[in-house]
Amino acid sequence: MTGMKVCQMNFKNSFVESLPGLSLNQEVSRQAQQTPGVAYSFVTPEKVSHPSLISWSESAAQLLDLDVVKLDPVEFAQVFSGNHVCAGMKPYAARYGGHQFGHWAGQLGDGRAITLAEVVNSVGQSWEIQLKGAGRTPYSRGADGRAVLRSSLREYVCSEAMYHLGVPTTRALSCVSTGDSVVRDLFYDGNPAPEPGAITTRLAPSFIRFGHFQICAFHSELELMTQLVHYVIDQHFPQFKTLQGEYKYLQWYSHVVETTASLIVDWLRVGFVHGVMNTDNLSIHGLTIDYGPYGWLDVYDPDWTPNTTDAQHRRYRFAAQPAIALWNLAQLGEALGPLLGGFQAVEDILTDYQQSFRDQLLSMMGKKLGFQAKMDQRGIELIEGLDRVLRMTEIDTTIFYRQLAELHGLYSEQGEGAGKKDPKTFLEPLRAAFYAEAPSEPALKALVQWLQDYLSWSQTDGTSVEEKVQMMNQTNPFFIPRNYILQQCIDGVAKGDTAVLNKVMMAIKTPYEDSALTREFFKKRPEWARHKAGCSALSCSS
């Protein structure tokens, strides 16, 4: 069935019907409190004054069988602001815990996210619908449960961009302005100020995180954790449903480890930095979840983090993401230990993670460089050499990798003697990637030498220039929603102008294509954005 209106969707509520929860009157349910022994608390969204639809994703709407032609923006805004709860919805906030910046934070939970229901679409897929910024819940810890426009729009755009980039992610259905102000201290410097409020509607098979299991383990709630694991496997991982005992749990945990490894490889492929990889921000589905102070590598810098809260220790910097994922998986494994038969089994699976991640990383880097064959020792040395070379000057990550494909045609035309008379010939296609007008001579010399070695070796794998270029252009994006671009969207929407946002939402649909839609954004971060708030680094304030 297709073409349904919002409240005609096929709702179900398997999470609340399968697991124990807390039901309180609404006044009490909005008070911050510990909720031991339950997986969630029923709570309805708090109403907003003037909900208005800013933008919505057609492809996400189609997942719910919503009529993209007959959509009523008023009805849509009423439901996805939380002002109207459809019959069949049972809104709730989930309880979970987590490690934040390496330290156990205790009970966390959905402090401003409220799940409305799950929807089963016409092809049998189940999607959980969640409002982010919908008001106070028992897990708000004294906060207001709201979200500001800047963070809501950043999550909305980036979720859809990641989907089209081929990176596993939660989806974003819409972004709705609330008509209300939200007070936030953007830089945590004692200067709070009102900002426009907004709500993002996001979709996922479920929003269950590592922290759902950790909170059960911390409070020795083995029965609840067992119920939760059975629910997760039965509803979301049916391939393990018929297995028995510890083997069942081990196979499921191993699958979570594998999909997490694949996710991190994809982050590295497109230059994405999550910014706050706490255990409560990692999905059991191997999805990118909770877009907060994330960022994209402009200048190639593996030690960069977009999160100002993490500026000193850089725990969640770009290059540390694989190790942090492993650490988080170990915390999940420790929580599940009673079901997995002890930590030795967990250690064995995590050893497999390290090998799987390495294999996937080398394969991905090979494709970024245009190699189909498995990376041998020379290929590994080439990758390591590129890392050293790119660190030597300010060079744009996305533009460099995309333009690298053009060198194959140049080399093919000039043959083995290409660049011998003037080695800097190799640099011409790459000049658009340099932030400095004149990189240092040592940096240029090292880069030219690497390019010569790379192009020479690239002739040995037996693939044609056309095949290499196609592979590279399918692996290295032409368009990414850089922070400065997102800030332009936010600034425009705040003034009632959605022109830039509309262009970006069109461009994200074809991120690997050089087209009229994407070329406008194929440029380095402008100098004015180097230190501008929201363009270079962000706080956790949202």
Enzyme catalytic residues: 280
Exposure b/e, 477-503, CB count within 10 A at least 16 = b: bbbbbbbbbbbbbbebbeeeeeebbeb
Residues 93 and 33: beta-carbon distance below 8 Å: no
3-state secondary structure 464-509: CHHHHHHHHHHHCCCCCCCHHHHHHHHHHHHCCCCHHHHHHHHHCC
Q: Which residue from 101, 157, 90 is spatially nearest to 129, judged by alpha carbons?
A: 90
Cα–Cα distances (Å) from 416 to 28, 265, 429, 445, 536, in that order, read 76, 34, 18, 19, 42
Amino acid found at 205: P
Q: How many CB atoms lie within 10 A of CB 464?
A: 10
Residues 276 and 293: beta-carbon distance below 8 Å: yes
- From CA 358, how far away is CA 364, in angstroms rounded? 10
- From CA 488, how far away is CA 497, in angstroms rounded? 10
Cα–Cα distances (Å) from 347 to 240, 254, 257, 437, in that order, read 21, 11, 11, 49
C-alpha angle 472/474/480, rounded to 5°?
100
Cα–Cα distances (Å) from 147 to 89, 131, 175, 275, 280, in that order, read 22, 10, 11, 18, 18
Phi, psi at 315, each rounded to 5° = -60, -40
Strand partners, 56: 174
C-alpha angle 412/418/421, rounded to 5°?
165
Beta strands in 57-163 (DSSP E): 92-94, 97-100, 103-107, 113-120, 126-132
Residue found by looking up tokens 């650490």 in the block: 327
- From CA 173, how far away is CA 334, in angstroms rounded? 35
Residues 366 and 375: beta-carbon distance below 8 Å: yes
Query: 245-270 and 222-236 are packed helices; what angle lies between their axes, rounded to 10 degrees?
Result: 70
Burial class for 259, CB neighbours closer than 10 Å (0-12, 13-18, 19+):
middle
Phi, psi at 522, each rounded to 5° = -90, 75
* DSSP-assigned states of every residue in 258-297: HHHHHHHHHHHHHTEE-S---GGG-BTTS-B---SS-EE-
